[in-house]
Chain A
Amino acid sequence: MEPYTVYTYPSVSTCGQPIIINEEVCTGCNACVEVCPIDVFAPNRETGKAPHVQHPDECYSCGVCVMHCPLSDEGAIDYRHPIMWAVRWKRKETGEHFRLGVADPPDPSRTPPVPGGKNWGGGGTW
């Protein structure tokens, strides 16, 4: 075949940006690229660099990229709700109102209710 230049194009059908990669922490291992069922990611052409979140609008929020990231606990990759899905909640005792992504959130829960404690599946320990 003739060599020719091909690009991959963003094809934005929704406005959400659910996948956040911290390029300072990410080592470019591409575990997320390889596990994503949709191919939301495109690997970086530079070895060791963070992949591109190329099709964020096609993400269906399954979270397996975070589960398989060896550095998810260190914040290499995270999922956040696009703001149209940002749920509100009320603290029962005080009546205070909060929202996902609010500027000054309460401290994270220290006693996760999932059996076995905090284990998002990161580092392959699902």
Chain B
Amino acid sequence: MSEFESLLYPYPIDYEEVNEVSADVVVLGGGIAGCWAAIAAAKKGLKVVLVEKGATIRSGCNGPGVDHWANALTNPACPISPEEFVEATLECADGWFNGLTQYISCRDSYECLLEVEQMGVKVRDTEDEFKGADFRDEKTKLLYAHDEENKYVILLWGTGVKPALYNECTRLGVRIFDRIAASSLLTEGGQQGARVIGATGVHVRTGAFYVFKAKAVVMGLSVPKRVWTFSQELGGLFAHLGPNTSVGSGHAMAWKAGAAFNTMERSGKVSGGFSAFVDCSARTEGAWEPCGLVDSRGKEVPWIDRDGNVLDSIEARNKLAPGQKFNLSYPGTGWKHYYPWVPKYEFRRNTIIRDLGERANKGEFVPPFYGDTPGLPETYRRKIWGFMIGQEGTTRIMIYKHYLESGFDPEKDMVQYYGHYAGSGGYTGSPSGPEAWRELRAGPAAGGLLVDWDMRTTLEGLYAAGECVWATGGHSIAATTGRWAGRHAADYARQASEPVVSSDQVQQERARVYAPVRRERSIAKGAVDWKEFNLGISRTMQLYCPKTKNDEMLKIGLIQLQEFRESEGQRVFAREPHELMRALEAYDILEVGEIILNASLARKASCDSLEFYRLDYPEDDPPEWHKFLTVSQDNGKPKVGELSMNFWGSLEDNYESHYSPEE
């Protein structure tokens, strides 16, 4: 049935029910990071509970699949070291990147891939379908992407990863609580800043309440994915690179509990949404594969190396420039402006000409452009369509199946490249909407929870992994940090005292979460629909935290969010648990907005590398502001801290001294 209609609500509802669950370790979020944390803690013999808002078997940003396994520096074919790789990524990001989690990932990534293989996921070309391809290692049968000479990104048949992780959790006795939205963290004595001893949650179908008591909590929730945008023109409520239920509830509850966040002032223009990756095979920055681009008359757009030399053959496009040791072709490293161009010459890769827009405007090329998959060698065509699209999260069905069944044939057809809508000089990606539509970026460039070498947050008992950690994102980084955080949470839980939950804190949270279902529902009497509330928050962020900001705008933004909390927020209603989930998400988006506004107020300087621009402090990254800023709440008041660049210290020494082995 597809007509919009009201139905009898399909599930039994009980807003009175309270379920109490105890465990040694509670993991919030059943995505990649959460599953790895749960597995790691369970392998140490602890009682583990996993709490997931959707269905763990397929939820999270890579629920449907993954194609690239990044940071596999220790695989036998890779000649570069984790140390030099992390140094390069930090250099490309001008230092505004998480060296700590990047290093853990580079050391552990390949080991985690082998664990995934043990769980039954195919990671080698055992059927020799790519025999003889440039990007295949004939001995190990591993397939590589991006820098084919240094081989630090491995392709995998990744649609099976989530079911495999789910099965592994089940095998190890992890108790999985699906369809429960975590709503708050419980702290000792109910105090902000105190040890974290559990969490609460609401069942998104029945509305039942859950109290999860634990010696340690691992936060595996996502980066906030919709703060500035709530658009009717963008797809599916619009959340870039993930489910639209990933609104940053982890950030919101950790903020309320008193945890510190790093780099939350950073945001960038929304980088997708209109086209839902329709043209990814055509975009050099989308596929990072050597697909040609032709104009409407069939004229090929030249590929160039870092020195501007035109590359004549398709094979040369994935090779290094003369004298280059390695390139950073993977956009998972948080460098300036995220996609367009690796900023540092030393690590720059080959790509199409960068002045395509100007040259097209002068008439040299005639838009629209098309991705020339028919012109590729068969192995590369299957690499892009078979892996990039066939195994990657969300594109397997949406693009691979749907396009092919609709008559598109990558051997014969050239998909239109929608970059020509991007405006003069753009031509590098999909159209992306107004400047004020911003996002916290994908994990590698987004702010988030501050963690130490144990991946513990600033709160005792609270560990974090994956995208909710500052400047930490991507599948393999979620896996490696999840495993690391799960082990350390387990080590802590072993010696931690039995938690005592504050019944006041539980009662206050119950009152908060159920308020929307008990409120007036008549719009005429002042009731506010969750969508209007949500859009009001998003519009506040668009107006008062746009690309270029000043103290006055940011302060008005904070005042307006506070007004929304105390006024309209007290009138938001929900008629059933699904609406309640959305209403609670809107409250969390408001909290995230406050973190961002406070962090933005704290930085009294512009910083181009952070895509952070101040009208009142226009100087770019003056030396006295070349430092990380943290924000947290202390007794309900925002508190700013600072950290020097490279505050994590020696990568190798700290890794070794904080390594917790599997048991």
Residues of A within 8 A of B (CB): 1, 5-21, 23, 34-39, 42-43, 45, 50, 52-64, 66-68, 78-82, 84-85, 87-93, 98, 100-102, 105-109, 111-116, 120-121, 126
Residues of B within 8 A of A (CB): 1-2, 4-10, 13-16, 53-55, 57-60, 63-64, 125, 127, 129-130, 157, 159-160, 163, 179, 204-205, 230, 232-237, 239, 242-245, 274-276, 278-279, 370, 372, 374-375, 381-382, 385-386, 390-391, 393-394, 396-398, 400-416, 418, 531, 575-576, 578-579, 582
Question: A59 to B615, alpha carbons, bound, how many Å?
Answer: 39
Give the nearest-CB partner of B230 in chain A. A13
Question: A16 to B531, alpha carbons, bound, how many Å?
Answer: 17
Contact B412 A13 (CB under 8 A): no
Given contacts A18-B236, A45-B8, A57-B236, 11 further A-B contacts (CB under 8 A): A14-B232, A21-B1, A37-B60, A39-B205, A52-B1, A53-B1, A63-B64, A81-B398, A85-B275, A111-B411, A115-B382
Residue from B232, B237, B404, B576 in contact with A9 in the complex, judged by beta carbons closer than 8 Å = B576
Question: A114 to B403, alpha carbons, bound, how many Å?
Answer: 13
Chain A residue numbers with a CB within 8 Å of B234 are 14
Q: Shortest Cβ distance from A26 into chain B, in angstroms?
A: 11
15 contacts between A and B (CB under 8 A): A7-B575, A8-B9, A9-B579, A10-B4, A14-B233, A62-B64, A62-B394, A64-B64, A67-B159, A108-B404, A109-B408, A109-B410, A114-B390, A115-B127, A115-B157
Instruction: Take A79-B398, A88-B416 as given contacts and tell me if A52 and B404 are in contact as well, using a CB distance cutoff of 8 Å.
Output: no
Question: A23 to B515, alpha carbons, bound, how many Å?
Answer: 38
Instruction: Take A42-B10, A91-B412, A114-B386 as given contacts and tell me if A105 and B407 are in contact as well, using a CB distance cutoff of 8 Å.
Output: yes
Chain B residue numbers with a CB within 8 Å of A37 are 53-55, 58-60, 63, 243, 245
Contact B245 A38 (CB under 8 A): yes
Chain A residue numbers with a CB within 8 Å of B409 are 106, 109
Question: A87 to B407, alpha carbons, bound, how many Å?
Answer: 12
Helix, strand, loop or mixed for chain A's interface?
loop
Contact A81 B402 (CB under 8 A): yes
Contact B578 A91 (CB under 8 A): no
- Give how many A-B residue pairs fall within 8 Å (CB-CB): 244
A-B CB proximity, top 7 nearest: A63-B397, A37-B54, A105-B407, A106-B407, A114-B390, A10-B4, A60-B236
Chain B residue numbers with a CB within 8 Å of A13 are 230, 232, 237, 531
Question: A17 to B408, alpha carbons, bound, how many Å?
Answer: 21
Instruction: Take A5-B8, A87-B416, A100-B402 as given contacts and tell me if A60 and B407 are in contact as well, using a CB distance cutoff of 8 Å.
Output: no
Question: A93 to B298, alpha carbons, bound, how many Å?
Answer: 11
Contact A1 B236 (CB under 8 A): no
Q: Shortest Cβ distance from A126 into chain B, in angstroms?
A: 5
Q: Shortest Cβ distance from A102 into chain B, in angstroms?
A: 8
Question: A63 to B394, alpha carbons, bound, how many Å?
Answer: 6
Residue from B60, B402, B412, B575 in contact with A92 in the complex, judged by beta carbons closer than 8 Å = B412
Q: Shortest Cβ distance from A55 into chain B, in angstroms?
A: 7
Interface centre among B58, B370, B579 (most CB of A within 10 A): B58
Give the nearest-CB partner of B10 in chain A. A42
Contact A43 B407 (CB under 8 A): no
Q: Shortest Cβ distance from A98 into chain B, in angstroms?
A: 6
Contact A108 B8 (CB under 8 A): no
Chain B residue numbers with a CB within 8 Å of A67 are 58, 64, 159, 396-397
Contact B159 A80 (CB under 8 A): no
Q: Shortest Cβ distance from A125 into chain B, in angstroms?
A: 9
Question: A35 to B162, alpha carbons, bound, how many Å?
Answer: 12
Q: Shortest Cβ distance from A108 into chain B, in angstroms?
A: 5
Chain A residue numbers with a CB within 8 Å of B230 are 13
Chain A residue numbers with a CB within 8 Å of B5 are 10, 52
Q: Shortest Cβ distance from B310 into chain A, in angstroms?
A: 22
Give the nearest-CB partner of B129 in chain A. A115
Contact A120 B235 (CB under 8 A): no
Residue from A8, A62, A100 in contact with B576 in the complex, judged by beta carbons closer than 8 Å = A8
Chain B residue numbers with a CB within 8 Å of A55 are 578
Question: A57 to B160, alpha carbons, bound, how many Å?
Answer: 27
Chain B residue numbers with a CB within 8 Å of A109 are 404, 407-411
Question: A17 to B235, alpha carbons, bound, how many Å?
Answer: 11
Instruction: Take A36-B55, A38-B245, A79-B401 as given contacts and tell me if A114 and B382 are in contact as well, using a CB distance cutoff of 8 Å.
Output: yes
Question: A25 to B275, alpha carbons, bound, how many Å?
Answer: 31
Residue from A11, A35, A90, A108 in contact with B55 in the complex, judged by beta carbons closer than 8 Å = A35
Residue from B9, B63, B408 in contact with A98 in the complex, judged by beta carbons closer than 8 Å = B408
Q: Shortest Cβ distance from B287 into chain A, in angstroms?
A: 13
Chain A residue numbers with a CB within 8 Å of B125 are 115
Question: A84 to B418, alpha carbons, bound, how many Å?
Answer: 13
Residue from B14, B59, B398, B411 in contact with A61 in the complex, judged by beta carbons closer than 8 Å = B398
Contact A60 B243 (CB under 8 A): yes
Contact B406 A105 (CB under 8 A): yes
Contact A39 B8 (CB under 8 A): no
Question: A4 to B8, alpha carbons, bound, how many Å?
Answer: 11
Give the nearest-CB partner of A97 in chain B. B416
Chain A residue numbers with a CB within 8 Å of B407 are 98, 102, 105-109
Question: A39 to B414, alpha carbons, bound, how many Å?
Answer: 35
Contact B63 A8 (CB under 8 A): no
Chain B residue numbers with a CB within 8 Å of A114 are 382, 385-386, 390-391, 400
Q: Shortest Cβ distance from B408 into chain A, in angstroms?
A: 6
Question: A52 to B385, alpha carbons, bound, how many Å?
Answer: 32
Q: Shortest Cβ distance from A120 into chain B, in angstroms?
A: 5
Chain B residue numbers with a CB within 8 Å of A82 are 235
Chain A residue numbers with a CB within 8 Å of B394 are 60-63
Contact A35 B415 (CB under 8 A): no
Chain B residue numbers with a CB within 8 Å of A50 are 1
Question: A126 to B512, alpha carbons, bound, how many Å?
Answer: 41
Give the nearest-CB partner of B178 in chain A. A34
Give the nearest-CB partner of A41 in chain B. B10
Residue from B60, B396, B415 in contact with A87 in the complex, judged by beta carbons closer than 8 Å = B415
